[in-house]
A and B are shown apart, each in its own frame.
Chain A
């Protein structure tokens, strides 16, 4: 196996990448190799799908499968070898169908014939490795291809979330097929690769907008909401991951059962959507970000449902009471569709639930773009009067690396006349703290999930319009923590939109070679993080200059 797609990838003297029998995330060799094979097949599907899109006769089912297939290979999503064997067989069937529709037989990944047994598939995995052709094309090209592929995975994940809520746009399927077809040609030209990466960033902006439309269309526009962070006595279900549609289905299935539903990790922003908040048994938020789930899930007295990433190896203490949905999977862990939710209800009733109601504590969430923009005048006034000196968007993923303390320190050390915006699960490092108020608004505004970067961009654009300046001239700095491939997609979006003044950490992507990092720094103004105090000073000095 070889995988270097996420921030926590193994880093040794000989280079970066998870290359032993098991990745840092717990993905084993067979699963990693099968994921490579699936990705290779998806490139082949992309070859056909791209041509069908060009001819104006897209295959909607194939487009949908591509999204789902890419999503299963994100970090901390699906670890189930058996599932990948099935997906590989399905991909081959879909490929055969597309070949029939197109009436033409394509070469390259499109012609790949997967073996019909595990041993055979594992033997085929070499041609599908992210590093295939390294000796011929060199590290830089491999790194750029990886950037495109990983960005694409993130785009697909967001597009899948929008699709399950009924929001499908043909240009998304076309864009994704185009990128896969591009990768299927084994591109070697650095400029073309970089252009494709930026095009994906642009596509991801459309995708995040679509997902925003799906979420707000179905559940209303996020409004500031106090969320309880302590348990109430009674039977309980914990819902983690990012899929609001799954949460809605669970809330429906548990209506009038007396079972309380708690959000975990990236599901926290759900409380701010009026139609989800309206369920009285959406009781609160439990726990913190994904990397603490071993302790938090073991201590939770009811079933746990993972609707998307980030899943880590379920411990025996809760293996029977954790369930996966959608793209997620782990061997020996029960996978559910919306039709099976009665099982979760049954589990919640059989498990003890919380014996006591703990003293109430709350946090404030729900500063989506509508809310922030409705306060725009106050904000603009506060900036003009000097009450707000600077905005810091501290957003992205959390993780286990000690270097992630940087983000806590950054939030804590940012001066009182700066406003903090946050999104993604990195916020758990500081969202329980009281940052006070500024210009009548809380100093810390929680904008939502990682995909709500869309909201943040909208706010930035609106502010730049109000101040009649470019986004990069705003008193705004982005402090991004990345972990997996959706963050890569968001990063590409920011680069494509020409957003500079961006700090990236806790470490830089291992797939980017020094030459590529140099391009990011020189051409796009991306800065690696240093330490909180220096970076704050640098940001405020830039603005003063």
Chain B
């Protein structure tokens, strides 16, 4: 076995990136050494951001979370845990343009406001501090996220942006508090308006295929609302006219997003249809009762033209929704997903 393996990454748009991976090194680190900064987050096999698919060649996976890797054995890999055992060719689920050629820069922002957004969730707004190298613009693509550091620690967490890119440096987040969680505890108890925070990004490749002529269905649940809200705001901003359907799921009614948000989205995007699903509703609930995957299956069964599907939420929701879409005949490459693994 050679000491150094040749790794070839093939992007969604067929670009091929080749680099050497020394023995003992994972593919993600080797790519960074070669100057390719691939979408990734925890670098520890936990978050699933660096999920990819091995096309050919042998490899070994170091320990990782089951939730982060839904399809082991069928070539599913996490780049941060994958060590080649010989030359390896890997398919990436995104385009070449999503691969950064420079390392990320950490910058700072100020908390502008912090307000409740439904039960157990907060709306956080930051303003970027202008930076000599980066300027002061909030420059991202709807669907992307930022990594925020818990002040006074090295702990970083990903949060998707809910607003639109803008020149004022404004970043809006919708954050569902996780009891006992590091970031959640800081945000829920100690964070104050005016406080400084360090962050980096934008990151992520969960973005709209603007050029697609197909209808779209956006499916979200739990803490997965923000990127879908941003995408819908973007479509409204560009007066998109394609049929668009939002399926949003929660365990209980109180955990759904604030009604004013749905009203804003409907006003901006007149053709938008919204299905709200509640798993355990209280009596009198007149929306869909069940999971996001069940609502998606019901919606797709009534369609003649298969839509593009955008999924965002916890791993279990993603996997069931994906299975439902595939079962209804949606091609795998028309399913875009953001896995909010923990």
* Chain A residues close to B by CB (< 8 Å): 28, 30-31, 79, 81-82, 85, 118-119, 122, 301, 315-317, 319-321, 331-332, 343, 346-347, 349-353, 355
Contact = CB atoms under 8 A, between A and B. Distances in A.
Contacts of A352: 131-135
Contacts of A82: 238-241
Interface residues of B, number: 29
Given A301-B135, A332-B234, A350-B137, A320 B165 contact: yes
Interface stretch (B27-35, B58-66, B206-214, B308-316): B206-214
Interface string B213-250: 10000000000000000000010001111100000000
Nearest to A118: B213
Nearest to A346: B167
B184 to A, nearest CB: 30
B139 A355 contact: no
B169 interface: yes
A316 B98 contact: yes
A455 to B, nearest CB: 39
A119 B168 contact: no
Interface in B169-214: 169, 207-208, 210-211, 213
B139 A321 contact: yes
B125 to A, nearest CB: 17
Contact of B137 (A317, A347, A355): A347
Given A85-B241, A316-B141, A320-B140, A30 B213 contact: yes
A405 to B, nearest CB: 24
B305 interface: yes
A331 B211 contact: yes
* Secondary structure of the A contact surface, majority rule: helix
A183 B305 CA distance: 35
Contact of B168 (A331, A350, A355): A350
Closest 5 CB pairs of A and B: A332-B210, A331-B210, A350-B137, A352-B135, A350-B167
A30 B211 CA distance: 9
Contacts of B211: 28, 30-31, 79, 81, 331-332
A118 B242 contact: yes
Nearest to A117: B241
B141 A320 contact: yes
Contacts of A343: 167
B238 A316 contact: no
Contacts of B130: 350
A542 to B, nearest CB: 46
A81 B240 CA distance: 10
Contacts of A122: 213
16 contacts: A31-B211, A81-B213, A85-B241, A301-B135, A320-B139, A321-B137, A332-B210, A346-B167, A347-B137, A349-B167, A350-B136, A350-B137, A350-B168, A351-B139, A352-B131, A355-B132
A144 B134 CA distance: 52
Contacts of B210: 331-332
B155 interface: no
Contacts of A315: 97
Interface of B: 97-98, 130-137, 139-141, 165, 167-169, 207-208, 210-211, 213, 234, 238-242, 305
Contacts of A28: 211, 213
A102 B319 CA distance: 61
Contacts of A349: 167
B140 to A, nearest CB: 7
A319 B141 contact: yes
Identify which of A30, A316, A317 gathers the most chain B CB atoms within 10 Å of its CB: A316
A353 B238 CA distance: 27
A265 B216 CA distance: 37
Nearest to A321: B139
B97 A350 contact: no
Given A82-B241, A320-B165, A331-B211, 8 more contacts: A81-B213, A82-B240, A122-B213, A332-B234, A346-B167, A350-B130, A350-B136, A355-B133
Nearest to B133: A352
Nearest to A355: B132
A81 B239 CA distance: 12
Contacts of B242: 118
B241 A351 contact: no
Contacts of B238: 82, 331-332
A231 B38 CA distance: 31
Contacts of B131: 352
A352 B134 CA distance: 6
B122 to A, nearest CB: 26
A351 B213 contact: no
A98 B272 CA distance: 36
B247 to A, nearest CB: 23
A315 B97 CA distance: 6
A28 B97 CA distance: 18
Nearest to B213: A30
A332 B139 contact: no
A347 B139 CA distance: 10
Nearest to A343: B167
Nearest to A26: B211
Nearest to B128: A350
Contacts of B135: 301, 350-353
A347 B241 CA distance: 27
Contacts of A346: 167
B5 to A, nearest CB: 29
Contacts of A351: 135, 137, 139
A319 to B, nearest CB: 6
Given A332-B234, A355-B132, A350 B208 contact: no
A81 B135 CA distance: 33
A351 B135 CA distance: 4
B134 A119 contact: no
A30 B131 CA distance: 41
Nearest to A121: B213
A396 B43 CA distance: 50
A28 B241 CA distance: 18
A317 B98 CA distance: 9
Nearest to B304: A119
Which of A118, A122, A301: most chain B Cβ within 10 A?
A118
Nearest to A298: B101
Nearest to B137: A350
A35 to B, nearest CB: 14
Contacts of A332: 208, 210-211, 234, 238
Contact of A350 (B133, B169, B213): B169
A85 B165 CA distance: 26
